[in-house]
């Protein structure tokens, strides 16, 4: 495969070779903190001579290896909005890796997604069969670009990249084949409409960086630990990762971790999570926990109802299940008030403390339960 250096006009963007007149824009964009954060192999500080070397020699080497580097330009002005490249070409596999950055002045307008679609079409037309796109688990914008450009998530590649501190970073791999359907990858768990759900008393929104202190306190409450699977209190590092990677899990369609806010105080008071591991069955599990001082006010029931309505209306989930400890009457009341029905008794279903096993009382909710007057 050999990529042509001809200008590509597609998807509302222009892809053209870099030239020396781009140097100021390259220095400004590659010095930006977000670019530096997610492209750890870039020199720091990024100087004018780094940009000149890259334009004159670095990009040339990519062309020689069968890939290439393009400026993503605004077709109206030809000004650089970002760059996109085809790297790490494996000729015998007809495979290459797509990488990009968008300058701070051009972000959030669909430039990266449009350029990734345009370059993929160009690469497939030139004989490539498989394109990879590798990103950090914390890089949510890039994961959205991947899904928006039709790249499917394939999994975590452990320790794939060296980081700036001498360690290694896990990276998330996406790929698109030339035989894949055009268009974005459908989401199992779409975004909450407007970013949150509310009934006027509580608001449910995605867990995110900044929620660490609250989450640490909540998940270290002794009775919350006892009902966790496994029943182990998470440490601060685990909580930090949970908050940083929550959006990546949501995008993967595997789980949606959410915070419950009490509207009049605006404070986080609990959490609610949706775990969609049985997608072939359309069955997901729901779990929740409240800070002790906010219990007894019906707030988790409201949160569970909000999430259930969203799940049945916006996703393929047809059945929501939940499990409770046989002695956890508070949790059983939450489920019953939210319309769930008890379905039996599971002996020794869950891991307990010190190697013991715990019984579990299973509940389930189907869409029809929510439509009955009592629970509407
Ligand atoms: C990743 C990057 C290229 C995205 O560029 P962009 O032109 O803003 O991307 P788009 O406008 O096509 O937006 C893509 C999606 O990301 C979302 N997004 C943009 N910025 C975001 C942010 N800071 N947090 C979460 N999502 C964000 C957009 O809403 C959009 O989502 P949608 O398509 O699901 O609606 C840009 O943020 C960047 O240059 N980052 C630094 C370098 C980098 O990360 N390169 C990729 C390394 S793998």
Ligand 1, residues at Cβ distance < 6 Å: 34-35, 38-39, 100-102, 107-113, 135, 139-142, 144-145, 148
172-192 pLDDT tens trace: 999 999 999 999 999 999 999
CA of 254 to the centre of ligand 1 (A): 21
Give me the mean pLDDT over the 222-233 stretch.
88
Closest C-alpha to 299, from 255, 257, 250, 264: 264
On the question of pLDDT at 375 being above 80, the answer is no
Alpha helices in the chain (DSSP H): 23-31, 33-38, 48-53, 59-64, 111-125, 140-148, 212-219, 222-226, 236-252, 299-314, 329-337, 367-371
Place of tokens 């039996």: 344
CATH superfamily, domain at 193-375: Gcn5-related N-acetyltransferase (GNAT) (3.40.630.30)
CA of 110 to the centre of ligand 1 (A): 8
- Supply the pLDDT for residue 374: 55
- Supply the pLDDT for residue 370: 83
Q: Between 3.40.50.2000, 3.40.630.30, 3.20.20.370, 3.40.1190.20, what CATH number should domain 8-177 receive?
A: 3.40.630.30
On the question of pLDDT at 83 being above 60, the answer is yes
pTM score of the predicted model: 0.93
On the question of pLDDT at 298 being above 90, the answer is yes
- CA gap 141, 259 in Å, rounded: 21
Pocket test for ligand 1, best of 145, 147, 184 (most atoms within 8 A of CB): 145
Give me the mean pLDDT over the 120-124 stretch.
97
The number of residues in the chain equals: 376
On the question of pLDDT at 159 being above 90, the answer is yes
- CA gap 96, 255 in Å, rounded: 30
CA of 113 to the centre of ligand 1 (A): 8
Q: Do domains 8-177 and 193-375 have the same CATH topology?
A: yes
CA of 305 to the centre of ligand 1 (A): 32
Give me the mean pLDDT over the 90-118 stretch.
98
Ligand 1 atom at minimal distance to the Cα of residue 109 = 11
- Supply the pLDDT for residue 226: 86
Closest C-alpha to 310, from 331, 289, 292, 284: 284
On the question of pLDDT at 376 being above 60, the answer is no
Which residue owns the Cα nearest ligand 1 atom 48?
135
State the DSSP code for 93.
G
Pocket test for ligand 1, best of 81, 116, 144 (most atoms within 8 A of CB): 144
CA of 144 to the centre of ligand 1 (A): 7
- CA gap 257, 146 in Å, rounded: 21
- Supply the pLDDT for residue 244: 96
On the question of pLDDT at 373 being above 60, the answer is no
42-80 pLDDT tens trace: 999 999 999 999 999 999 999 999 999 999 999 999 999
Task: For the chain, give every domain's residue range.
Answer: 8-177, 193-375
Strands 168-177 and 202-206 turn out to be unpaired
Closest C-alpha to 219, from 210, 211, 228, 208: 228
Beta bridge partners of residue 204, listed in sequence order: 197, 260
8-26 pLDDT tens trace: 999 999 999 999 999 999 9
On the question of pLDDT at 257 being above 60, the answer is yes
Which segments within the chain are labelled E, that is strand?
8-10, 13-16, 68-73, 80-90, 95-102, 130-135, 152-162, 168-177, 197-198, 202-206, 255-262, 267-278, 283-290, 319-324, 341-342, 346-351, 357-366
> Taking a C-beta distance cutoff of 8 angstroms, is the pair 41, 97 a contact?
no
* Total Cβ atoms within 10 A of residue 154: 13
Q: What is the mean pLDDT of the chain?
A: 95
């Amino acid at each position: 495969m050999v990529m042509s250096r001809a200008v590509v006009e597609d998807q509302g963007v222009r892809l053209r070779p870099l030239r020396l007149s781009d140097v100021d824009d390259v220095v400004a964009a590659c010095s930006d903190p977000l670019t530096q954060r997610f492209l750890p192999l870039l020199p720091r500080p990024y100087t004018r001579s780094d940009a000149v070397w890259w334009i004159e020699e670095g990009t040339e080497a990519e062309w020689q290896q069968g890939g290439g580097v393009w400026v993503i330009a605004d077709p109206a002005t030809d000004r650089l909005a970002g760059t996109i490249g085809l790297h790490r070409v494996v000729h015998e596999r007809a495979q290459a890796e797509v990488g990009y950055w968008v300058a701070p002045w051009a972000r959030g307008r669909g430039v990266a997604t449009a350029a990734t679609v345009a370059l993929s079409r160009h690469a497939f037309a030139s004989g490539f069969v498989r394109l990879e796109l590798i990103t950090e688990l914390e890089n949510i914008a890039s994961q959205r670009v991947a899904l928006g450009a039709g790249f499917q998530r394939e999994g975590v590649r452990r320790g794939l990249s060296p980081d700036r501190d001498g360690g290694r970073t896990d990276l998330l791999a996406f790929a698109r084949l030339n035989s894949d359907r055009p268009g974005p990858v459908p989401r199992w768990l779409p975004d909450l409409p407007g970013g949150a759900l509310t009934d006027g008393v509580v608001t449910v929104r995605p867990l995110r960086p900044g929620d660490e202190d609250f989450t640490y306190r909540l998940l270290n409450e002794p009775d919350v630990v006892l009902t966790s699977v496994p029943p182990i209190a998470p440490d601060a590092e685990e909580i930090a990762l949970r908050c940083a990677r929550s959006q990546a899990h949501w995008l993967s369609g595997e789980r949606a971790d959410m915070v419950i806010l009490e509207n009049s105080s605006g404070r986080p008071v609990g959490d609610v999570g949706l775990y969609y591991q049985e997608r072939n069955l359309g069955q997901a599990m729901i779990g929740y926990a409240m800070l002790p001082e906010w219990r007894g006010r019906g707030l988790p029931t409201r949160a569970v109802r909000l999430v259930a309505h969203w799940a049945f209306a916006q996703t393929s989930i047809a059945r929501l299940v939940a499990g409770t400890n046989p002695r956890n009457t508070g949790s059983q009341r939450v489920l019953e008030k939210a319309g769930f029905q008890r379905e039996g008794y599971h002996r020794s279903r869950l891991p307990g403390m010190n190697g013991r096993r715990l019984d579990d009382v299973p509940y389930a909710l189907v869409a029809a339960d929510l439509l009955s007057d009592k629970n509407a």
